[in-house]
Amino acid sequence: MNEVMRQEKKYSINLADGAYLRSHLSKVMLQDAHNGAQGYAIRSLYFDTPDDQDFNEKLDGLELRRKVRLRIYSPNDTSAKLEMKQKQGPYQKKRSLRVERDDAIRLCQGDYSPLLKYPEPFAAECYGLMTCRCYRPKTIVEYLRQAYIAKENQIRLTLDSRIIATESCYDLFSPSLSLYPVMDPFSMVLEVKYNGFLLSYIKDLLNDLDRPELSVSKYCLARGVSLGSGG
């Protein structure tokens, strides 16, 4: 089980902003090894309660809330990461557990019993939560990400584009999902994650963009298509 606790800021930016950031970040930060020309793909299946408790708590801006998701990077992956993100005031705690592909497929089908074979306490916690609160798969979200890293304060900046989703199929490993856009194709999501404080040169770049900080959730963007709200 892996655990990360950090602050997180999000911004909705346009493609020109993204190009500006890439040109500057590549000079002062390390690029993620998987970046490539267009970034690397991320696909996540989000779970929620029958009454969409996590979705509604995000919309209501509650200080204490969570998201549960299963994440892969390719339909050919041999494993997946079960992740829980918990908002605690200004901090985000993210815990993750790597599960085997066959177990992940059963999670996609709403069968959480495979978690009982993993020795980590986090696996038992997820099983208890998802079973007692009747969590069910809700939507798959996919996007391209480019990431930049500064070792100081564990700073990580990510640029997410081509955000697409589906609520009609929960087969996370399918090579042929029918996905539709949930965000303006000329827009991107900038995420700034760090411990402690931001370095001054990163603050200066964000000030140059002059974009307001937003509470942008890819999960809510995807669910908002059918539920009539997003953000």
Q: Does the domain spanning 2-227 belong to CATH 2.40.10.10?
A: no
Distance CA 191, CA 207 (A): 14
Per-residue pLDDT of the chain (231 residues; tens, 9 = 90+): 888 889 999 999 999 999 999 999 988 899 998 887 778 999 999 999 999 999 999 888 787 889 999 999 999 999 999 999 998 877 899 999 999 999 999 999 999 999 999 999 999 999 999 999 999 999 999 999 999 999 887 899 999 999 999 999 999 999 999 999 999 999 999 999 998 888 898 999 889 888 888 877 899 999 987 776 545
Distances (CA, A) of 136 to 1, 42, 53, 139, 179: 22, 20, 12, 10, 19
